[in-house]
Amino acid sequence: MVVPHSAAPILKVEHLSYRYPTGQLALRGVSLTVGLNEIVGLVGPNGAGKTTLLLHLNGLLTGTREPAHAPGLPANPAATGRQTTVGGHNVPIEVLGMPVTPANFPEIRRNVGVMFQDPDDQLFCPTVRDDVAFGPLNLEFPRNEVRRRVAEALTAVGLADYEERRPHELSFGEKRRVCLAGVLACEPSLLALDEPSSNLDPRSRRGLIEILKSCRAAQIIASHDLEMIVELCQRVIVLDHGQIQADGPTRDILGNASLMARHGLEVPLSIQYGLPLPPTASSPPSAT
């Protein structure tokens, strides 16, 4: 994990736009930053562009740098910023001050860990140990270092005794934890998590929240689980129609009933009724 200067953001996105090969415009001049140790929630209806945005953060997708008022894009007068050019190409994203370009992908992927919504898209090795080791090995860490990282990551997610288990035999919640262990084993500076609590039972969901609370990395979490967002995130971004519609403190954004309704969302019950946050667990979650 690289620790940036305290005043510098870990992630900086300026005027990111992306059009799928079908011609569908998925992101329209998106600009945001994520600071050191900050946990940011990314919310919005289905099709808003949340997953597309996360896949750009370590170069799995590559968009262009276009303000939302560029030709073919709807106007967004709030979008401003300096154009960055590397090798003659506009670069809309920087991680730890590095532009997200193919030349920087190895270092970017050391520092940005992405967890997909469906764990079966991320697990493909014969054993849990092999899956968790896959990232560090591809980043060319020494074997002894990989073994240490695998052991520590599995312990962190409550699966210390699962190294020889077969991923396809695990429960959905256990698969989700193995995916998170694989991301944590790379010791990234930023976690990009796509619907991490979806399809989890209450115990698995609670365990996941406690793991994320204990992580030292900055996080950007795309989720429909707004109660989890309330508990974890200091700040929330509302994304809809590929554009940022609001960005601010979690309770200010999620407690704004008219804003939420405009974007197909509901104010979480914990905010509606002023409920206290759940107590933090004092021990790692069980693997069941």
- Per the prediction, the chain carries an average pLDDT of 87
- Dihedral of the alpha carbons of 249, 271, 209, 284, in degrees to the nearest 10: 120
pLDDT at 7: 62
DSSP 95-133: ETTEE--GGGHHHHHHHEEEE-SSGGGT--SSSHHHHHH
pTM score above 0.95: no
Could you tell me which residues are beta bridge partners of residue 246? 238
Report the pLDDT value the prediction gives residue 83, as an integer from 0 to 100: 43
For residue 13, the model assigns a pLDDT of: 97
Phi-psi region for residue 172, left (φ > 0), alpha (ψ -120 to 50) or beta? Answer: alpha
What is the C-alpha to C-alpha distance for residues 228 and 270, in angstroms, rounded to an integer? 10
pLDDT tens per residue across span 46-63: 999 999 999 999 999 999
Higher pLDDT among residues 73 and 144, named by residue: 144
pLDDT tens column, 147-167: 999 999 999 999 999 999 999
- Residues with Cβ within 8 Å of 205's Cβ and at least 6 positions away in sequence, in order, are 197, 225, 228
pLDDT at 220 exceeding the cut of 50:
yes
